[in-house]
Amino acid sequence: MSEQNELVKRRFEELDEIRARGINPYPHRYDVSSDSASIIKEFRDPQTEEETESMKQIVVSVAGRIMAIRKMGKATFCHIKDSTGKLQIYLKRDDVGEEAYSVFKLLDIGDIIGVKGYVFRTKTGEVSIHARSFELLCKTVKPLPVVKEEITESGEKIIYDAFADVELRYRQRYIDLIVNDNVKDVFIKRTKIIQSIKRTLENQKFFEVETPTLQSIYGGANAKPFITHHNALDIDLYLRISNELYLKRLVVGGFDRVYEFVRDFRNEGIDRTHNPEFTQVEWYQAYGDYFDSMNMFEEVVEQACIAVNGKPEATYGRTVLNFSRPWKRIRMTDAIKSKTGLDVMNIDKAGLIDFMKTNKYEFDPKIAHSKGLLIANLFEVACEEDLVQPTFIYDFPIDTTPLCKPLREYTMSQLEEMKNDPEQVIYAERFEPYANNWELGNSYTELNDPVLQRRLLEEQVERGRGGEEETHPLDEDFINAIEVGMPPTTGVGLGVDRLVMLLTDSQSIRDVIFFPLMRPQ
């Protein structure tokens, strides 16, 4: 029998003995009056004997998981861990009683106990609880990984036997959170980031809403959906890839400023910055354009960084990222020219393809029909690697999205001429924010011309029939909403998981998602 199985067997034997003594190892509740962080923070050393005696009369009640035990015959020291930190407990046989003390000897690291006693400071200077009584709240039958800490003379903390297997940590996040304090800190910061984003948006009078996760027609992004089936209606449905089209419907309905935090689902690959299920916040502002969204995006991210780091800077690896406003702003065509020397505004599609092949810039042959898509591809493979500090890349080819307005300098007659000329690229009021070489979001001046909107979505359908794998379907109800009339509007999508990664120096998106998708064992 393995050592692990022997430990489990011993714990079951202890559990049986505890029950044989008439003790319920899984009681229903326990009154807790304080937590470890508050006790340590608020403790003040008594100055007189009278104060010492008086403090012994003040009983606190705490509860937590045993993380370390040091038994010394008639007395025992242990550390318990609650939601706020660790606290030392001192148990003396003469104080808790012979029977209770013998029960405590049946407890293990990982068991959860409640303790009543008074606060004092040990001779080694550690604020602790001198137990008057304790109660077993949960007897565990699976042992925790034994993690040992050592504090060096310089104050550095060294961890031994850490629960470090990455895949096991993701699969058993509950153990990861128990034994790795830094993991819990990341998720606390994640919540602070989300709270900060909400606070910033609501200060600008944005209204939080909810839209459907199950959709009969997916849309709002170029992505592959997950498909499910509704038995009662006997129809296929899609898990949303974006909430954009529903939020625009709400703008049509009179909600001028809306936002929503959502879980989006895209049936695509998994890597360090992509997970099939991820969190996004989108907001839409009537009567604004993409420059308004740039300003809002800067403010949202700057304030989120300050909320978790105390300043508008975050260190990722060895790179210090400065999110202070204003961020650098570069047109996509200018970024390409600066990096490659190529002026894509003055080269035909054949010349562009030759340039990319000659310089070994890879592209999918399925997009070779579109000069605009080739330009966007060239930017991605040539320029993204240089975008370390926060930067907005703006004015994308309209081929990259059917939901965005063309640049305002185009006249209607120009657009009519250009749409029938494959060598002419129409640019749209779209931007993407970058930091640490990552795209953090997406934004447009939203298209509200129903005639152009229908034509662009119909073109997407034809491109899908032509072999492109990620195109927008035609949503007749969405077009109907645009025909009812949407005011000038700008919208933003921000990838929350990637932002959390940047602001917490996390190396994988799985480090900032409690339960990332894993292949079944």
Q: Is 267 helix (H, G, I), strand (E, B) or coil?
A: coil
Q: Give the chain's residues under pLDDT 70.
A: 1-2, 147-162, 464-471
Residue 505 region by backbone torsions, left for phi larger than 0, else alpha for psi between -120 and 50, else beta: left
Identify whether the C-beta of residue 79 lies closer than 8 Å to the C-beta of residue 86: yes
Class of domain 3-144: mainly beta
Instruction: For 330-349, give one letter per residue: b (16+ CB within 10 A) or e.
Output: bebbbbbeeebebebeebeb
Residue 461 region by backbone torsions, left for phi larger than 0, else alpha for psi between -120 and 50, else beta: alpha
Check residue 164 and give its pLDDT. Answer: 79
Q: CA of 98: how far to CAs of 25, 103, 133, 223, 496, in Å?
A: 18, 9, 12, 66, 54
Check residue 212 and give its pLDDT. Answer: 96
Domain map (residue ranges) of the chain = 3-144, 183-327+389-512
Q: CA of 278: how far to CAs of 6, 108, 275, 316, 517, in Å?
A: 40, 38, 6, 21, 10
Check residue 1 and give its pLDDT. Answer: 46
Identify whether the C-beta of residue 356 lies closer than 8 Å to the C-beta of residue 409: no
From the CB of residue 233, how many other CB atoms can be counted at a distance below 10 Å?
9
- pLDDT, tens digit, 9 for 90 and up, residues 496-518: 999 999 999 999 999 999 999 99
Does the domain at 183-327+389-512 match CATH 3.30.930.10? Answer given as yes
Only one residue has tokens 């300050």, namely: 306
Asked whether this chain's domains 3-144 and 183-327+389-512 adopt the same fold, the reply is no
Backbone phi, then psi, for 202, in 5-degree steps?
-70, -30
181-203 vs 496-504: helix axis angle to the nearest 10?
A: 120
Identify whether the C-beta of residue 257 lies closer than 8 Å to the C-beta of residue 288: no
Q: CA of 359: how far to CAs of 341, 364, 381, in Å?
A: 12, 15, 11
pTM score:
0.90
Q: Give, as one character, the DSSP assignment of residue 107.
A: -
